[in-house]
Chain A
Amino acid sequence: MGYLKGFTISGKQFFQKTVTTQYPEVKRPKSERFHGRHVLNRYEDGMEKCIGCELCAGVCPARCIYVRGADNPPEQPVSPGERYGFVYEINFLRCIHCDLCVEACPTEAITESKLFEFSFTNRNDAIYTKAELVVDDDGNPKHLPWEDWHEGDDANTSGWVRATAPNGVAAAEGRPLWSGELGYGVRPAQKGQSDPSAADIPADWDISLREVEASEVRGAGVSTRVPQAPATPEGNNDDSPGAGH
């Protein structure tokens, strides 16, 4: 009667909850490290982080980045170093949002926001230049007319996202290894790096992923035990064990 077993499975599914999200009306929460439209970051003093090294262009598998570096004008430097990104263009008709450029960047200049709902009526609009990519004077990404920005799309669009990996080495927890940025300064480390259960609130669709993550994966820097604060005589216990600044 093995033939009928399949029918019980599809029959049971009929009464289970559907998992469809009604997309344009309802939007799934985006993950912390969602790969969206790029931004070019600036330091706290307003200097651009890009040094025009072209590593991003070199690593790009879709070959959608075009960079040309130039020497900083001595009297009005654009970036703190010797060189700066004179031309910086990304063709979003080719970009596959793999984030390799972000990983290649030595100065955390290029990162990705969480915006993905943008479309063009003109091919030229798809080529973003420095005018569109560089963050504004408050350190936030520029909003273009054809982009559909939503709450949280521009949150943490900086080197912070790259540097605070959830599986980061627990010993390095709380020590910022990333530079400050315009409008926000040096961002604090993400909470609960060594305690996956205290990590950012899991959306219901990636609970299983979290469960895998929270299981025994020793050696990869993840401990399933909640780290206890050291019993210091002062009793200076932080309320969240993973948080440190």
Chain B
Amino acid sequence: MGDPLLNGGLTLAVALIVIIKAIIVFAVVLVSVLAMVVFERKVIGHMQNRIGPNRAGPYGLLQSLADGTKLFFKEALLPDKADRRVYRLAPFLAVVPAFLVFSIVPIGGSITIAHHTTELQLADPPWGILFMLMLSSIAVYGVMLAGWSSGSKYPLLGAVRASAQMISYEAAMGLSIAAVVLLSGSLHTSAIVAHQYGTLHFRNHDAYLPAWNLFRAWVVPFIIFMLAITAEMHRPPFDLVEAEEELAGGFNTEYSSLSFALFYLAEFMNVVTMSGIAVTLFLGGPIGPRILGHSVGPFWFLVKVVVFLFIYVWLRATLPRFRYDQLMDLGWKRLIPAALGMLLFVAAVRSGNRTWVIGVLIGIVLAAGLLVRALSMGERTNEIESATAGKGV
């Protein structure tokens, strides 16, 4: 595995190609964010029987550019009580990981420039998907430090919510990714994609389903992953971090001008890159039928990502925000046990040993029963406590 570009050692031409690729990825991600902002506002507008932005440029396509320009010319405020260095650093801690995640996403196919063949993927490190987990952990720091260094109570509350939420859902996300890694046997994102070619076979019969990890991992890890990344990106309905109605904006309340723009950028960039990651992990990335005999990986990749983006906007247009205890309940009491159970199940199925499969299934049923029992006991205790509270019983 690895990019064939680097097989011949590092020469000047190779270094140039890598730099050009980095710049192109940077530009593509940046433009995709601008497009995503307009896309979201237009789609959500139509879902609410409105038109959405339509003043800046044709059909309002330049709206996000206009917003960015406006933010650029605003005054950069620094609160009196802010911790200056951390306050300045935090937006970059949020935006840099968001940029970097896209570097491990394979867009599909390869390209030959000046006798050098290279994959359409900026980097294919051996730790592949772990890189993405690592960066999403660093992004927590961006949010947390922003809230803490603002020297203001609402950002602090937003930051506390954010760090708790992101850490809780990272566990479920990691476990659902583990199922995929188990199936592919590799952390390389390119290997994960390569493993999803072809169609599924069930007991030597063609199941007429693409061999995407979505189906190979029995769908549940995909749903858990979707929920977890929605919470990771603090998108609705998990947007408690920046609940305008409760926190006056959340962790970024005290930010203005460019530093606010960076947070905004990071948020939407995460939506795009995480959609890319989800497509890579579960929907076969650039895999799709050939069109007119040509392999059009980037096209299928784009189609799948846009479908994801639409789903996120749809979620936002439909669902009200979770309450904080509901969020934590969903994360710890449902998603993590479910992800754990599915990981065991996928592992057992992969082992090919029927005894293991049956054993794991029995174990899951038992554990689920115990969990449900424990949850109902906990709820009953809560009810008794709240009913007898302050009565000296």
- When C-beta atoms are compared, the residue in chain A nearest to B50 turns out to be A20
Which one of B2-10, B268-276, B314-322 contacts A? B314-322
Q: Is the interface of A mostly helix, strand, loop or mixed?
A: helix
Do residues B46 and A6 form an inter-chain contact, with CB atoms below 8 A? no
- Within A1-45, the residues touching B (CB, 8 Å) are 6-7, 9-11, 13-14, 16-20
- Check A20/B51 contact, CB under 8 A, given A9-B318, A10-B314, A11-B314: yes
Cα–Cα, bound, A14→B51 (Å): 10
Task: Give the chain B neighbours of A10 by CB distance below 8 A.
Answer: 47, 314, 317-318
Digitize B39-56: 1 where CB-to-A-CB distance is under 8 Å, 0 elsewhere: 000010111111100000
Q: Is the interface of B mostly helix, strand, loop or mixed?
A: helix
Task: Give the chain B neighbours of A16 by CB distance below 8 A.
Answer: 49
- When C-beta atoms are compared, the residue in chain A nearest to B316 turns out to be A10
Digitize B18-61: 1 where CB-to-A-CB distance is under 8 Å, 0 elsewhere: 00000000000000000000000001011111110000000000
Of B47, B51, B319, which contacts A13 at CB under 8 A?
B47
Cα–Cα, bound, A13→B317 (Å): 10
Do residues A17 and B314 form an inter-chain contact, with CB atoms below 8 A? no
Q: How many A-B residue pairs have CB under 8 A?
A: 30
| B319 shortest CB reach to chain A, Å | 7
- When C-beta atoms are compared, the residue in chain A nearest to B311 turns out to be A7
Cα–Cα, bound, A17→B317 (Å): 17
| B335 shortest CB reach to chain A, Å | 15
- Within B291-336, the residues touching A (CB, 8 Å) are 314, 317-319
Cα–Cα, bound, A222→B50 (Å): 35
Cα–Cα, bound, A126→B43 (Å): 41
Interface size on A, as a range, is: 10 to 19
Do residues A13 and B48 form an inter-chain contact, with CB atoms below 8 A? yes
Do residues B318 and A6 form an inter-chain contact, with CB atoms below 8 A? yes
Do residues B49 and A19 form an inter-chain contact, with CB atoms below 8 A? yes
Task: Give the chain B neighbours of A11 by CB distance below 8 A.
Answer: 47, 314
Most chain B beta-carbon contacts within 10 A, residue among A14, A17, A18, A20 = A14
Cα–Cα, bound, A149→B49 (Å): 30
- Check A13/B46 contact, CB under 8 A, given A6-B319, A18-B51: yes
| A46 shortest CB reach to chain B, Å | 48
Do residues B46 and A18 form an inter-chain contact, with CB atoms below 8 A? yes
Task: Give the chain B neighbours of A6 by CB distance below 8 A.
Answer: 318-319
Cα–Cα, bound, A13→B50 (Å): 10
Digitize B235-253: 1 where CB-to-A-CB distance is under 8 Å, 0 elsewhere: 0000000000000000000
Do residues A18 and B319 form an inter-chain contact, with CB atoms below 8 A? no
Task: Give the chain A neighbours of B47 by CB distance below 8 A.
Answer: 10-11, 13-14
Cα–Cα, bound, A20→B48 (Å): 10
Cα–Cα, bound, A13→B47 (Å): 5
Task: Give the chain B neighbours of A7 by CB distance below 8 A.
Answer: 314, 318
Other contacts beyond A9-B318, A14-B46: 11, CB < 8 A: A6-B318, A6-B319, A11-B314, A14-B43, A14-B47, A16-B49, A18-B46, A18-B51, A19-B49, A20-B49, A20-B50
Cβ-closest 10 pairs across A and B: A10-B318, A20-B51, A10-B317, A6-B318, A10-B47, A14-B47, A18-B51, A13-B47, A19-B49, A14-B46
Question: Chain B residues in contact with chain A, CB under 8 A?
Answer: 43, 45-51, 314, 317-319
26 contacts between A and B (CB under 8 A): A6-B318, A6-B319, A7-B318, A9-B318, A10-B47, A10-B314, A10-B317, A10-B318, A11-B47, A13-B46, A13-B47, A13-B48, A13-B49, A14-B43, A14-B46, A14-B47, A16-B49, A17-B49, A18-B45, A18-B49, A18-B50, A18-B51, A19-B49, A19-B50, A20-B50, A20-B51
